[in-house]
Amino acid sequence: MHLTSTLLAGAVAVASAAADNNYLGFNSGATLADRSAKFKKDFEAEFKTAQALNGAPGKFNAVRLYTNIQAYATDDPIEAFEAAIDTQTYMLLGIWASGAADITKEVTALQKAVDKYGSKFTDLVIGMSIGSEDLYRNSVTGTKNKAGLGADPEVIVSFIKDYKKAFDGGALAKVPIGHVDTWDAWTNSSNKAVIDAVDWIGVDEYPYYENGKGNDIKNAGKLFDKAYDATKAVANGKPVWVTETGWPVTGEKWDEAEPSAENAKYYWDEVGCRQLFGKTPTFWYNLRDSNPDNTMKFAITKDLSTTPQFNLTCPTTFDTDSKDSSSSSSSASSTPTSRSNGSTSVSSPTSTGSGSGSTGSTGATSAAGSSGAGASASAQAANNNKASGVGKVAASSSVAGILALVGAFLLL
């Protein structure tokens, strides 16, 4: 049987349309700054503010969640789902995997949501991340930094298989699957099995924390590009989503990096406007702060005001020359690295508000404080240098699915 020209044309059209879905969004954890649970009204307030930001270079109508479980519940769906439906917010969902023996409760919460909301819910799901920075936490450096319980590559791969089996044949079966981790976790060859198992790769990158590398704000664009290019170089052609990045508005100086609204604006321009917005699914860190233990504050708004703390309008010219980092990234990515204090001392700012606060799907504490499953206050306080975040890969996974379909037909 031969593949018809009509089918081929249709496949190309679908892939082209998917490539345009470069969503903009923020990260959103399951709890507030005082570690109390977020409910529908809290999520709804966030989503409405995100979509109405003054001067935004596009519509921030997507959100990245870390868990499917409502804070302090066992396996009930997080109320962010209903808030997203009411505000037409696209969702990059997350299954918390660090320290988990299985993902049964996460899956149960998600199945309950599918049964309750149907296509109103599933049509808004743009991606599924199985885990968040688990590989970093289980690295030598993650252990040194007391990042908490993580998960090895084989565990993440097994959870991906469990998820696929649970939703095989259903509406979520078409949703592209990814994993989120730090750039130097991705460039570590021991984690290649995870790259092979996913449809897209999510990278968390904060030049602010790149101590020992000249992390002055004027060099932030180049540092980001180097890490971003290194991740793309090992992605085997799979799309790379930026799931967390940002610059603090207030807080302590970190080596050469200084927090300020002016620097946060510069970073927004040089990294977001120049490199990311409209080009790849991007989930900025963050719309509002949720971790009382972290002295660095990244929120671009105060009290969810639609007037941001700095001008979000993108400039027409930039200081960073993208060619500089592109030429150096190939050498940077050719050597697998593990996370180190001298390179990326911390991957992201902890958001204890990201944890569900529940005993969750694993009963384990969240190392990042962005746990979707059982982040205890003590674990969160001990890991105040980690973070939380939102967006969609339709392009890559759709293309992958189309290519698989084409291959199947050609074999007939």
Residue 228 reports pLDDT greater than 60: yes
Q: Is residue 256 part of a domain?
A: yes
- How far apart are alpha carbons 23 and 217 in whole angstroms? 26
SS3 for 337-374, per residue? CCCCCCCCCCCCCCCHHHCCCCCCCCCCCCCCCCCCCC
Q: Is residue 382 part of a domain?
A: no
Interior CA angle at 352 toward 346 and 356, to 5°? Answer: 125
- pLDDT score recorded for residue 183: 96
Tokens representing 224 are 């980001």
What is the average pLDDT across 255-276?
98
Residue 113 burial by CB count (10 A; 0-12/13-18/19+): exposed, middle or buried? Answer: buried
Q: Is residue 106 part of a domain?
A: yes
Comparison of pLDDT for 283 and 371, the residue scoring more: 283
The count of structural domains within the chain is 1
Cβ-proximal residues to 340 (8 Å cutoff; 6+ apart), any chain: 141, 184
Is 154 one of the annotated active-site residues of the chain? no
- How far apart are alpha carbons 350 and 204 in whole angstroms? 12
Q: Is residue 397 part of a domain?
A: no
Tokens representing 198 are 């996913």
Residue 186 burial by CB count (10 A; 0-12/13-18/19+): exposed, middle or buried? Answer: buried
Give the CATH number for residue 174: 3.20.20.80
Question: Which one of 79, 205, 244, 270 is the catalytic residue?
Answer: 244
Q: Is residue 91 part of a domain?
A: yes
Domain residue limits at 77: 24-284
Q: Is residue 388 part of a domain?
A: no
- pLDDT score recorded for residue 108: 98
Question: Which one of 44, 82, 133, 205 is the catalytic residue?
Answer: 133
pLDDT band at 348 (very low <50, low <70, confident <90, very high): low
Q: Is residue 84 part of a domain?
A: yes
pLDDT 10s digits, 237-250: 999 999 999 999 99
pLDDT 10s digits, 77-115: 999 999 999 999 999 999 999 999 999 999 999 999 999
Cβ-proximal residues to 361 (8 Å cutoff; 6+ apart), any chain: 67, 69, 75, 95, 96, 100, 102, 103, 104, 105, 106, 107, 109, 372, 373, 374
Q: What is the mean pLDDT of the chain?
A: 81
Q: Is residue 304 part of a domain?
A: no
**What is the four-CA torsion angle of 191, 329, 351, 66, rounded to 10 degrees?**
-50
Is 244 one of the annotated active-site residues of the chain? yes
pLDDT band at 192 (very low <50, low <70, confident <90, very high): very high
Q: Are 324 and 270 in contact (CB under 8 A)?
A: no
- How far apart are alpha carbons 67 and 141 in whole angstroms? 25
- pLDDT score recorded for residue 141: 82
Q: Are 201 and 228 in contact (CB under 8 A)?
A: no
Cβ-proximal residues to 338 (8 Å cutoff; 6+ apart), any chain: 139, 140, 141, 184, 188
pLDDT 10s digits, 394-406: 333 343 444 343 3
Comparison of pLDDT for 294 and 177, the residue scoring more: 177
pLDDT 10s digits, 363-373: 222 323 333 33
